[in-house]
A and B are shown apart, each in its own frame.
Chain A
Amino acid sequence: AQRVTQPEKLLSVFKGAPVELKCNYSYSGSPELFWYVQYSRQRLQLLLRHISRESIKGFTADLNKGETSFHLKKPFAQEEDSAMYYCALLGSSNTGKLIFGQGTTLQVKP
């Protein structure tokens, strides 16, 4: 079965601390994975996708096929990073369906 698991509902860190938002997936083929972010009162927006291998707003995510993980990391959290983060997996059909995790709220304290 195709599934995305984000084990933490809430992650609370202090400003300047490292951040790691966990994401594990279940998928039989070559996965295509995304991180989406939703800031307070804003629309859900794409943060990064693994095929781009880029860093956005200081965040990176590496696909680890052995551990079936796609954790989101940032070395020094900022208060403006506080938001809801969703990990998503592109399903096996060619319809563009995404399978979302449950979401993790990141709270960065001053």
Chain B
Amino acid sequence: DVKVTQSSRYLVKRTGEKVFLECVQDMDHENMFWYRQDPGLGLRLIYFSYDVKMKEKGDIPEGYSVSREKKERFSLILESASTNQTSMYLCATQGAQQPQHFGDGTRLSIL
């Protein structure tokens, strides 16, 4: 069974802080994704990575960056958190010709 682990279920940070969200998978999948989930907007892709040290912007990359130093770990970074980044963040992983598998999500509040 695919295991996708996000480091925190709930996180509260202050405006201007640098925030790290971590995602780890145990299936040796090449592709990893970061989404944010907002009511009425569905899931929107922030960044994705198809290999170590490779990354591509998704649909809403502004204000975010990512890091993939090891195949199993994909980090999302909020360089300077703002209140409009309060959201649910979902990590997903995907093997070749397979559907995406999601983590439990991190509910991030920026005060």
Contact = CB atoms under 8 A, between A and B. Distances in A.
Interface in A68-110: 86, 95-98, 100-103
B103 A95 contact: no
A43 B31 CA distance: 19
Which of A6, A43, A49, A86 has most B Cβ within 10 Å? A43
Contacts of A97: 33, 45, 48, 58
A102 B42 CA distance: 4
B21 to A, nearest CB: 15
B40 A9 contact: yes
A95 B50 contact: yes
Interface residues of B, number: 22
A95 B96 CA distance: 9
Contacts of B50: 95-96
A44 interface: yes
A100 B31 CA distance: 17
Interface size class of A (residues with CB under 8 A): 10 to 19
B100 A96 contact: yes
B108 interface: no
A95 B56 contact: yes
Interface string A48-70: 01000000000000000000000
B41 interface: yes
A101 B33 CA distance: 17
Which 10 pairs, one residue from A and one from B, show the smallest C-beta to C-beta distance? Answer: A100-B43, A44-B102, A102-B42, A100-B42, A96-B31, A96-B94, A46-B99, A103-B42, A43-B104, A43-B102
8 contacts: A6-B42, A43-B104, A43-B105, A44-B105, A46-B100, A46-B101, A97-B48, A98-B45
